[in-house]
A and B are shown apart, each in its own frame.
Chain A
Amino acid sequence: GIQVEQSPPDLILQEGANSTLRCNFSDSVNNLQWFHQNPWGQLINLFYIPSGTKQNGRLSATTVATERYSLLYISSSQTTDSGVYFCAVEQGTGAQKLVFGQGTRLTINP
């Protein structure tokens, strides 16, 4: 099956810093999503981005489907940005089965 790799696995930054998280996938995909898992375990939708670039406040994402990668940018990091960020991709027909990467754990220190 498709492989989804995220890097780096861990990232520790000071408040105010910028960061780039990467997601590589091994095959063509129909869709790609970025999630933030908060400290209580809930997965929060950040972006639905099968291709192109989107921005939402301090966050933006770019997916280059032809080269099989996606990037998540966080600017001016805040302590509330801490948590685990997951990339997930959808392959195949029918229902939208997602395959998740292992996540990037981001820690923002004050």
Chain B
Amino acid sequence: DVKVTQSSRYLVKRTGEKVFLECVQDMDHENMFWYRQDPGLGLRLIYFSYDVKMKEKGDIPEGYSVSREKKERFSLILESASTNQTSMYLCASSLYRGKGRGQYFGPGTRLTVT
């Protein structure tokens, strides 16, 4: 079974802090994704990566950056957390196009910025 893990289930941070959200997958997937989910707005793609050290902006990249130094790990960074970044963050991974069976999601991190 594919396993995607996230570093924290719940996280509380203060405004202005630098926040790291970590995601690890164990299935040698090329693609990795970060989404956020908000009531009324659904799931929106923040960033994705299709290879080590490669990254592409999703629909809402502002205020975020990412890092992928190893194939199995994809980090989301909030450089200076703000209250409007309070949300549910979901990481996903998949095999490269044409080889896979879709995206697999981690358990999510509920981030609260106070």
Q: Taking beta carbons and an 8 Å cutoff, which residues of A are in contact with B?
A: 30-31, 33, 35, 40-45, 48, 86, 88, 93-98, 100-103
Which residue of the partner chain B has the closest CB to A101?
A: B42
Other-chain residue from B42, B43, B101, B106 in contact with A42 (beta carbon distance below 8 A): B106
Is A40 touching B102 in the complex (CB atoms < 8 A)?
no
The chain B residue sitting closest to A31, CB to CB, is: B102
* B42 contact set on A, CB distance < 8 A: 100-103
Contact of B110 among A41, A48, A94, A103 (CB under 8 A): A41
Q: How far is the CA of A102 from the CA of B107 in the complex (A)?
A: 19
B→A interface (CB under 8 Å): 31, 33, 37, 42-43, 45, 48-50, 56, 58, 88, 90, 92, 94, 96-97, 100-108, 110
- Report Cα–Cα, A66/B104, bound state, in Å: 26
User: Could you give 14 example pairs across A and B, Cβ below 8 Å?
Assistant: A31-B102, A33-B102, A40-B107, A41-B90, A43-B105, A48-B102, A96-B31, A96-B103, A97-B45, A98-B45, A98-B103, A100-B42, A102-B42, A103-B42
9 smallest CB-CB distances across A and B, nearest first, come from A48-B102, A43-B105, A95-B50, A41-B108, A100-B43, A33-B102, A42-B107, A48-B101, A95-B31
> Which chain A residue lies CB-closest to B44?
A100
Tell me if B's interface is mostly helix, strand, loop or mixed: strand
Residues of A within 8 A of B100 (CB): 96
- Which residues of chain B come closer than 8 Å to A40, judged between CB atoms? 107-108
Give which listed residue, B97, B102, B108, contacts A95 with CB less than 8 A.
B97
Q: Considering only CB atoms, which chain A residue lies closest to B109 in the complex?
A: A41
